[in-house]
């Protein structure tokens, strides 16, 4: 089947544009009133930051629009922050997600606190078991991912595939598995039934994400029935060569990403192009990149007795991404 994608300017109407997008992708043919839908926003900072996180306005609009198809809606993410973990429950409170979710009768969950189930993951010729939330594996029928268009210092981009890295409930597992990212991220997306994407393109992040970088006002929203189509179109809109991103090359090789000719888009994408996105690392980003690529370095950087000392040394030269002394509730 051909993929379908909807692209339009937001113009202060997230709800109207989200409704139109779901109609364009024929969402009503995918679900029924009994379908259980999980919304996965990008909540990678303790407080809302444009270009870094899915906006609360986009998330609330998605809740309202999706509830017109099914009342069984969940929202969630896992504790984030990598080595310097912070509580997703605090993020829900800080951003107002807890309040408007309760107002709309939607269940908010912290994936780090739920019962888990192991899934098999293949990494080339090797394999292992990965603990994932049972809710995502056994109970939901469809995952709607809500990323923002970001450059990422380690993965190149963070879009409709990468957003599900946060479905892995234990931050330590995410750090340990970074060197196997291209293999694991596809298995995770498959396991959690990630299909539909609602990309909050109000603001993107250029130069060096996922937390720093330079916010760029874009003003668009994308809705698609294929997360692979979402990757393809987002790369086109950001003017990032898809073939230069390792995990996207791997996804293409395994049939996850359609060509532009295989996507039915409601509009010409060219008016939505703004400045080209690019990756420019600072020298203090390279220790993290080494740990991302090497299991040996990752073990030393995050799990060895030297880890705290190495991080303290790094922070002599680089300001921490956020206040690491914030209270954390697990």
Q: What domains appear along the chain, each with residue ranges and CATH number?
A: 3-283 (3.40.50)
> Which pLDDT does position 215 carry in this prediction?
96
* Cα–Cα dist 309/205, whole Å: 30
Low-confidence ranges of the chain (pLDDT < 70): 324-330
**Structure confidence by residue, pLDDT tens digits, 40-96:** 999 999 999 999 999 999 999 999 999 999 999 999 999 987 778 889 999 999 999
> Which pLDDT does position 325 carry in this prediction?
65
> Which pLDDT does position 329 carry in this prediction?
46
* Cα–Cα dist 186/36, whole Å: 22
Give the phi and the psi of residue 132 in degrees, each rounded to 5: -130, 155
């Amino acid at each position: 089947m051909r993929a379908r994608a909807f692209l339009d300017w937001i113009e202060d109407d997230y709800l109207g544009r989200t409704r139109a997008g779901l109609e364009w992708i024929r969402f009503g043919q995918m679900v029924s009133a009994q379908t259980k839908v999980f919304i996965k926003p990008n909540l990678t900072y303790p407080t809302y930051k444009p270009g870094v996180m899915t906006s609360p306005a986009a998330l609330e609009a998605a809740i309202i629009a999706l509830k017109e198809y099914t009342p069984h809606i969940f929202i969630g993410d896992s504790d984030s922050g990598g080595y310097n973990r912070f509580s997703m429950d605090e993020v829900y409170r800080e951003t107002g997600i807890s309040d408007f979710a309760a107002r709309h009768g939607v269940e908010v969950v912290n994936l780090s606190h739920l019962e888990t189930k192991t899934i098999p993951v293949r990494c080339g010729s090797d394999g292992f078991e990965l603990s994932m939330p049972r809710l995502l594996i056994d109970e939901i029928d469809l995952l709607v991912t809500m990323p923002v268009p970001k450059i990422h210092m380690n993965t190149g981009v963070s879009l409709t595939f990468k957003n599900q890295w946060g479905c892995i409930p234990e931050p330590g597992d995410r750090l340990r598995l970074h060197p196997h990212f291209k293999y694991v991220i596809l298995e995770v997306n498959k396991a959690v039934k990630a299909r539909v994407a609602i990309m909050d393109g109000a603001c993107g992040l250029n130069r060096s994400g996922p937390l720093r970088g330079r916010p760029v006002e874009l003003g668009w929203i994308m809705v698609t029935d294929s997360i692979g189509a979402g990757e393809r179109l987002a790369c086109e809109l950001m003017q990032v060569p898809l073939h230069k991103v390792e995990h996207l090359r791997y996804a293409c090789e395994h049939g996850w990403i359609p060509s532009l000719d295989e996507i039915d888009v409601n509009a010409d994408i060219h008016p939505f192009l703004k400045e080209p996105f690019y990756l420019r690392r600072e020298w203090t980003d390279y220790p993290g990149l080494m740990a991302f690529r090497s299991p040996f370095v990752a073990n030393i950087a995050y799990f060895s007795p030297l880890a705290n000392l190495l991080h303290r040394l790094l922070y002599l030269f680089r300001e921490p991404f956020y206040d690491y002394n914030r209270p954390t509730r697990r």
